[in-house]
Amino acid sequence: MTVFIIRRLLQALLVVFMMSVIVFFGVNIVGDPVYMLVSPDADQADIEAAISRLGLDRPIWEQYGLFLKGAAQGDLGNSFIFGEPALKLILHHMPATMELAFSALFLAIVIGIPLGLYAGLYPDGRLSKGIMAASIFGFSLPTFWVGLMLIMLFAVELQWVPATGRGDLGSFLGIQSSLFTLDGLSHIFLPALNLALLKISLAIRLTRAGVREAMGLDYVKYARAKGLSTRRIIFVHVMKNILIPVVTVMGLEFGSLIGFSVVTETIFAWPGMGKLLIDAILQLDRPVVVAYLMIIVLFFVLINLIVDILYSILDPRVRLQDQGA
């Protein structure tokens, strides 16, 4: 077990290192940020001063070396635009993204599982067919377009909730979040729903498949024979067996929620990391782009590592030995 974890850790390190090379060199080859930062009537001396202030006059491998050295000490460089450490900027925007992702995950579970349960119990019903058709749309519609439609319907036409921004923050147990104020909740509803749609479809499909499989198993037949009410069989016995895998898979989708939040945050002007990334790309703010990408890579590598270890603990059939490589 220890050997397995150490080996996976080393692999994870290698991946992060490789990604740092790709990301750093990729990002630093594109465009010239200097012309966006100095005023248009700056003379040659100003431009050169800016270049040397940003460290852009050094050879690129030297820049990379400095970046690596800084990264090892938790310093991913300063934002060209804000002049603040890029890491600090990202950490500052992280709570908003986390809040959005958690809300989306919550919505996916409370909406998706009951619908999937219904579709699994009555697979031939008209409503079930409707639910399954809707879940196909949930998978194939582009997120950003659904977001636009949500804004148009709920914010422009019906004017139930505001279209953009984060709203008031409330404080609870020392955590600042818009989930604790009514204004904040009304702001988070649409973006969270938008981000959740894909995962709602996933939850519906997983739950439905689980319920259909479980209903034919012996323990359900036995419970019936014992005279338990259908309600008790479903909500106590069946749910207990299918909820664990469904919730586990949904939890694993958390990383992809953070990835997808880039789109949702941009549409709803949600001040999270994703919007920061898009703004940074548009303004050629390289350090922020590099820092965001490195953090996302680190995040995914960590999630994958945890998943691998969890699986090997939960399912003894998954071999701990490295498979070939």
Partner 1 sequence: MSDVTAESTLAADPPTKVETPFQRFRAEFFESKIATVALGVFLIIVLLAVLAPWITPQNPYDLAQVSVMDGRLPPGSEAFDGYTMWLGSDGSGRDLYSAILYGLRISLTVGLASGVIALLIGMAIGLVAAYAGGRIEAIIMRIVDLQLSFPASLVALMMVAALGKGVDKIILALVIAQWAYYARTVRATALVERGKEYVEAAQCLGISRFRIVFRHILPNCMAPLIVVGTVQTASAISLEATLSFLGVGLPQTEPSIGVLIANGFEYMLSGRYWISVFPGLALLLTVVSINLVGDHLRDVLNPRLKK
Binding-residue pattern over the window 39 to 78 for partner 1, x denoting contact by CB under 8 A? ----------------------------------------
Query: Among 67, 260, 268, 270, which residue interacts with partner 1 (rule: CB under 8 A)?
Result: 260
> Which letter does DSSP use for residue 57 in this model?
T
Residue 317, number of CB atoms within 10 A of its CB: 7
One residue of 35, 61, 137, 219 binding partner 1 per CB under 8 A: 137
Task: Please select the residue that binds partner 1; options are 88, 256, 309, 312, rule is CB under 8 A.
Answer: 256
| Min separation Cβ 210 and partner 1, Å | 22
Exposure of 91 in the CB half-sphere (CA atoms within 13 A): 8
Count of CB atoms within 10 A of residue 169's CB? 17
Q: Is 281 in the site for partner 1 (CB under 8 A)?
A: yes
Q: How many residues bind partner 1 (CB under 8 A)?
A: 41
Say which amino acid occupies 319: R
- Residue 111 has a CB neighbour count (10 Å cut-off) of 17
Give the separation between CA 46 and CA 60, rounded to whole angstroms. 22
Residue 270 binds to partner 1 (criterion: CB under 8 A): no
Q: Does 26 bind partner 1 (CB under 8 A)?
A: yes
Check binding of 144 to partner 1 (CB under 8 A): yes
Does the protein bind partner 1 through residue 143 (CB under 8 A)? Answer: yes
Give the span between the Cα atoms of 178 and 188, in whole angstroms.
8
> Quick check: 264 and 191 in contact, CB under 8 A?
yes
Three-state DSSP class for residue 171:
strand
Residue ranges that bind partner 1, judged by CB under 8 A:
15, 22-23, 26-27, 29-31, 136-137, 140-145, 148-149, 151-152, 155-156, 163, 256, 259-260, 262-263, 266-267, 277-278, 281-282, 289, 293, 296, 300, 304, 324-325
